[in-house]
């Protein structure tokens, strides 16, 4: 590309109505949040998010909590995050949230209202993705905070000391980062799958299988996985055995920032391809 061509493209890009697109994306996100986050259809996702919270509450009320048990509870919490939230809760929760954004509207035959509005399809897709991400992060982020607080609350002053003067707060931050990245990563994948397949669930099961066997795959293939990046961000190593070791083992450890950047690049690639798909999306409800 010559310098003149580059300058021409840059000028054209600057002339685009970015302000309007920003306003439209914000309003779209608001509309989507109102429709999706506060509906009865989302009740099962609330359950997925807060099942561990209920279990930890029962543990807090029923079991005794001597100070030496704190490290055991720290390991249990790490296991809950890595084995339950990342593998099941966030995975299926984001499948429910993100596959409804486009495919759900096609099944309910209401997507055309968006496609007939003066919103660029890319803005529409990104607005919906933002709404889905906010919903998922709000639900699973709140659940992680609640789990963390309840897990250490039963230890009284020792628990409080661990959170505010020990490693606790850094662990919570790491868990929240993991949940945010998991929601964005799986969300982008499921949004794309919902545009590619009439029923994205079988494809999601393949993704689940791929994520499970990923640690034993060649190095290059490990890069195409959400969970492989998230494993590297875990603040506490989970010592799983047998088949569960597949879910926790780090065969190719990388630094935290590289894992975060890698996952963000993966999300950007998936969203870019989704934008291309939505440009050519046709409304043919009779085939749904």
Partner 1 sequence: MNDRIIFEDVSKFYGEVLGVNRISLSIPPGITTLVGPNGSGKTTIMNLMTGLVQPSNGHISVLGLTPADQTELFSIVGYCTQFDFFPRGLTGWQFVLDGLMLHGMEEAMADDFASQAIERVQLGDAAGRKIAGYSKGMRQKIRLAQAIAHHPRVLVLDEPLNGLDPMARAESIALFEELGRQGMHVLISSHILDEVDRISDRVILITGGYLIAEGNIHQVRQEVHEKPMQVLIRCDRPEVLAAKMFSINHCVEARLHADGKGVFLRTADIDQFYSMLNGIAVEGLVKIDAVAPADDDANAIYQYLIGTDGSPS
Does 28 bind partner 1 (CB under 8 A)? Our answer is: yes
Characterise 156 by phi-psi region: left (phi > 0), alpha (psi -120 to 50), beta (else): left
Does 18 bind partner 1 (CB under 8 A)? Our answer is: no
Q: Determine how many CB atoms are found less than 10 A away from the CB of residue 167.
A: 13
Residue closer to partner 1 (CB basis): 112 or 198 = 112
Segment contacting partner 1 by CB under 8 A, of 26-34, 74-82, 139-147, 209-217 = 26-34
Q: Which residue in the set 73, 105, 147, 211 belongs to the binding site for partner 1 (CB under 8 A)?
A: 105
Please, which of residues 106-135 interact with partner 1 by CB under 8 A?
108-110, 112-121
**How many residues lie near partner 1 (CB under 8 A)?**
29
Does 9 bind partner 1 (CB under 8 A)? Our answer is: no
Cβ atoms of residues 204 and 193 within 8 Å: yes
Residue closer to partner 1 (CB basis): 31 or 83 = 31
- Say whether 140 sits in a helix, a strand or coil: helix
* Nearest C-alpha neighbor of 233 from the set 263, 206, 211: 263
Does 164 bind partner 1 (CB under 8 A)? Our answer is: no
**270: which DSSP letter?**
H
Does 15 bind partner 1 (CB under 8 A)? Our answer is: no
Does 68 bind partner 1 (CB under 8 A)? Our answer is: no
Tokens 């609640």 sit at which residue? 146
DSSP states along 70-121: HHHHHHHHHHIIIIIIIIIIHHHHHHHHHHIIIIIHHHTT-HHHHHTSSS-H
Does 282 bind partner 1 (CB under 8 A)? Our answer is: yes
Q: Determine how many CB atoms are found less than 10 A away from the CB of residue 49.
A: 24
Does 280 bind partner 1 (CB under 8 A)? Our answer is: yes
Residue closer to partner 1 (CB basis): 119 or 234 = 119
d(CA 89, CA 175): 14
Residue closer to partner 1 (CB basis): 126 or 172 = 126
| Chain residues that interact with partner 1, rule: CB under 8 A | 17, 20, 23-24, 27-28, 31, 35, 39, 105, 108-110, 112-121, 279-280, 282-285
């Amino acid at each position: 590309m010559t310098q003149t061509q580059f300058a021409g493209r840059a000028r054209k890009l600057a002339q685009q109505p970015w302000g309007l697109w920003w306003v439209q994306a914000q309003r779209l996100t608001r509309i989507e949040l109102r429709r999706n986050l506060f509906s009865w259809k989302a009740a099962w996702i609330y359950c997925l998010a807060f099942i561990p919270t209920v279990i930890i509450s029962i543990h807090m009320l029923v079991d005794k909590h001597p100070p030496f048990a704190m490290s055991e509870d720290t390991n249990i919490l790490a296991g809950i995050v890595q084995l339950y939230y990342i593998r099941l809760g966030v995975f299926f929760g984001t499948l429910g949230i993100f596959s409804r954004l486009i495919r759900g509207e096609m099944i309910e035959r209401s997507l055309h209202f968006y496609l007939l509005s003066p919103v660029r399809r890319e803005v529409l897709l990104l607005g919906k993705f933002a709404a889905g991400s906010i919903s998922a992060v709000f639900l699973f982020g709140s659940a992680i905070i609640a789990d963390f607080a309840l897990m250490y609350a039963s230890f009284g002053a020792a628990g409080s000391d661990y959170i505010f003067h020990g490693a606790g707060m850094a662990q919570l931050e790491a868990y929240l980062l993991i949940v945010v990245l998991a929601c964005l990563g799986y969300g982008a994948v499921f949004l794309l799958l919902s545009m590619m397949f009439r029923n994205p669930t079988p494809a999601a099961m393949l993704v689940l299988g791929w994520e499970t066997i990923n640690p034993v795959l060649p190095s290059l293939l490990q890069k195409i996985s959400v969970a492989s990046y998230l494993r590297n961000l875990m603040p506490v190593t989970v010592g799983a055995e047998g088949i569960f070791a597949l879910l926790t083992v780090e065969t190719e450890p990388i630094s935290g920032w590289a894992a975060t950047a890698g996952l963000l690049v993966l999300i950007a690639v998936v969203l870019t391809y989704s934008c291309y798909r939505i440009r050519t999306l046709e409304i043919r409800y009779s085939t749904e």
